[in-house]
Amino acid sequence: MPGINGTHGTSQTTAYGDATVDSLLRKESTPSAPSDTCQEDVQLVLQSFRLLIADLCQQFGMGHPGSAIGMAALGVALFKYVMRYAPHQPQWFNRDRFLLSNGHACLFQYANHYLAGYKAMTWEQLLSYHSERSDSLCPGHPEIEHEGIELTTGPLGQGIANSVGLAIAAKHLAHTFNRPNFEVVNNHIWCVVGDACLQEGVGCEAFSYAGHLKLNNLTVIYDNNQITCDGSVDLTNTEDVNKKMEACGWEIIDVMDGVNDVEAIVNALEKGRDPNRERPLFINVRSIIGVGSAVAGQAVSHGVPFGKDNVAAMKKAYGWDTEKHFYIPDKVRKFYADIPKRGDQYVKEWEQLLDRYTKEHPDLGQAFKDRMAGKLPSNLESQIPSPDSLPTEDTPSRKSNNIVMTNLFAQVPSFMIGTADLTPSVNMSWKDYEVFNPPSLTPISGKKGSYKGRYIHYGIREHVMAAIANGLAAYAPRTIIPVTSSFFMFYLYAAPAVRMGALQRLKVIHVATHDSIGAGEDGPTHQPIELAALYRAMPNMLYIRPGDSEEVAGAWTAAIRYDDGPSMISVSRHALPQLKGLTKREGVQRGAYVLQEEKNAAVTLIATGAELSFAINVKDALGKAGIKARVVSLPSFKLFREQSREYQREALRRHDGIPAVAIEPYASLGWERWADAGIHMKGYGHSLPGKYIYQHFGFTTESMTERVENFCKAWKGGEIGRGEYCEL
């Protein structure tokens, strides 16, 4: 039986420290699959897998063949030998989680899912990769909606960050629910990364933080093929990767031949499960992108099919029929055939364990079942303080958050709250909170660590905070409800991960504080102007700017009810008047509502969040000048967009010919939908203490009133018509 040596004519070399493409390719075929399988079988499996990928890309002349082919041996090690999962019960709670952070190599996962026997991944489905089928389960990157996919990956670095979230979730649940002799949670998290995930900032944050947390239930497998789109990695990156990972607190295992040496990979992976290891494990697997093809070891094999002739040559070199496409020998099918049964056995044993556990620890067993089912206390919303018990004095809405939610945070174990090094500023902690940190760690300042802890100090790592939150949320629906917090402006750092949460409809609640120019003296770098436009435009994202404590209660109510994606509650640093009797939490649920009605109004003033009270002040001042105004609070574009047109008309009364003026010191973009004019920021903010900055930009009652008055005149005089948004 032919090995893979001599299958191509390239003398291309690549960097492996101590190996080259050629040396690896020339290496005598010394397969070393676990002893229960003969070497020949494994070689056949590897060839079959590689050719299947090549054919799948060739089919429609599109796709990413190289990495998936290079990882063939890793696939065997993971899906056949090491991972504990159940293809026929893919939602088994204690399954190992697998993430492909280099999501473009998705065929690796699809083909392995097919071979391992996932039911949804039929042969027909596998062949639909890059077809015209809009119901394909084989999109260009793995998507969470499909069986066996834990999270959507693709934007590089997200997957490794998500897998840290999965590992935190597993570790937290294990330490919360496991009891002696009852390891109801003891699964392992496996994540494959490519060179890109090691370069992306969010990946770097993830590695650093996972090392700190000593997540020994996480194994990262580095598909070290030394090739990126632009060429060899050394064009852009000459780090000592192992040394860097070690410095970050990881244990390292090298696998020198990731092309053929299944046994070495299996041995390395098995070390991942060792409960005595105190660090996460990084397995550096040398592989060859597009191995076996004429473009092996070359960048061009990354995202372009090899071409018909090259695929034929590959088959020929393997001694296969060059005219047979998508061929999987029976031996190969047989090789994988036992996986579903084995998986069912895992599930059965675990369910028996769970039964014994529930008998021995009935309350805990019930609690665990509730958590697995994502069940929240039925009285959750009623625990939010009533309007009467909210403050009457001016209160920063970041503090209102704390008033509204920390009691629930303390009581409801599903919430895991974290902040990117702004604990003193964002007010998200509660009395006696425990910190999620290794139990072995007692920081110089701060509390002893515990994996039972539900308060996460993410460090100054906003991007990975949001990406980890996605992993926490994806572990199982509502088993953990992650809450993150930082200054609103720094949710621009986190935006790619926040978006991934929205794309995947993950229930994550982001609390963005310091959300207006009123944040003050930190200056324009810290004052959001344009960021709300992003989150208001983002599909599935529930962005809310509540105006006082009552609206904060409304915002949390909405966020708790919303199961179709992330929410972001955007609050102020500075104290806001409490608009008692005007603001209504139920109003927030409709996105906008009338705060002050006025039958014969000449103008509607719309405001939101930290500047909601400005509209009331302007209304009063306009009243003195003989202009009647009504006031609308509009905390959420999304919720208001979803209302009926009748409700929208009632709230805004533009249909009655009344013009609307928005007041919000952000960029105007988007306000044109609701208003005819607006008082907004025309550029960036300024470094001035809070009490001076609104004045500096003309957000005084006097100035705003004058501008609205002039606008009303121009409107009345017909100088300005509807559909010509005026920035006053």
Residues marked as catalytic? 462
Closest distance of CB 243 from a second copy, Å:
4
Contacts of 561 (CB under 8 A, 6+ apart): 381, 589
- Segment (H or E) for 544: strand 542-544
Helix (H, G, I), strand (E, B) or coil at 687: coil
CB closer to a second copy out of 599 and 645: 645
Closest distance of CB 721 from a second copy, Å:
6
Helix (H, G, I), strand (E, B) or coil at 301: helix
Q: How far, CA to CA in Å, does 22 sit from each of 5, 26, 201, 311?
A: 9, 6, 33, 20
What is the total residue count of the chain? 728
For the chain, how big is the Rg over CA atoms in Å?
Answer: 29
3-state helix, strand, coil in the chain (%, to 5): 45, 10, 45
Closest distance of CB 286 from a second copy, Å:
14
Strand partners, 483: 417, 509
CB closer to a second copy out of 344 and 650: 650
Interatomic CA distance for residues 585 and 551, integer angstroms: 5
CB closer to a second copy out of 249 and 340: 249
Closest distance of CB 455 from a second copy, Å:
10
Could you give the strand order of the β-sheet that contains 251-255, starting from the edge strand earlier in sequence?
97-100, 189-193, 218-224, 281-286, 251-255
CB closer to a second copy out of 337 and 460: 460
Closest distance of CB 411 from a second copy, Å:
23
DSSP state letters, 90-122: TT-TTPPEEEESSGGGHHHHHHHHHHHT-SSS-
CB closer to a second copy out of 88 and 212: 212
CB closer to a second copy out of 582 and 675: 675
- Segment (H or E) for 468: helix 462-474
Interatomic CA distance for residues 573 and 559, integer angstroms: 20
CB closer to a second copy out of 134 and 378: 134
The residue behind tokens 């399988």 is: 37
Closest distance of CB 23 from a second copy, Å:
14
Closest distance of CB 212 from a second copy, Å:
5
Query: Strands 542-544 and 567-570: what pairing?
Result: parallel
Nearest CA-CA partner of 372 in 418, 433, 413, 342: 413
HEC sequence for 578-632: CCCCCCCHHHHHCCCEEEECCCCCCEEEEECHHHHHHHHHHHHHHHHCCCCEEEE
Interatomic CA distance for residues 604 and 675, integer angstroms: 9
Interatomic CA distance for residues 278 and 78, integer angstroms: 22
Which backbone phi and psi does 501 adopt, to 5 degrees?
A: -65, -40
CB closer to a second copy out of 81 and 430: 430
Closest distance of CB 647 from a second copy, Å:
12
Closest distance of CB 75 from a second copy, Å:
22
CB closer to a second copy out of 8 and 141: 141
The DSSP code for 491 is: G
CB closer to a second copy out of 311 and 500: 500
CB 463 within 8 Å of CB 205: yes
CB closer to a second copy out of 23 and 392: 23
Nearest CA-CA partner of 201 in 161, 246, 164, 237: 161
CB closer to a second copy out of 489 and 616: 489
Nearest CA-CA partner of 550 in 570, 578, 527: 578
Interatomic CA distance for residues 534 and 555, integer angstroms: 19
Interatomic CA distance for residues 250 and 270, integer angstroms: 16
Interatomic CA distance for residues 186 and 166, integer angstroms: 12
Contacts of 355 (CB under 8 A, 6+ apart): none
Interatomic CA distance for residues 251 and 265, integer angstroms: 15
Closest distance of CB 541 from a second copy, Å:
8
Helix (H, G, I), strand (E, B) or coil at 55: helix
Closest distance of CB 344 from a second copy, Å:
31
Closest distance of CB 563 from a second copy, Å:
16
- Segment (H or E) for 244: helix 241-247
CB closer to a second copy out of 185 and 220: 220
The residue behind tokens 């009063």 is: 620
The residue behind tokens 């034929």 is: 312
Closest distance of CB 537 from a second copy, Å:
4
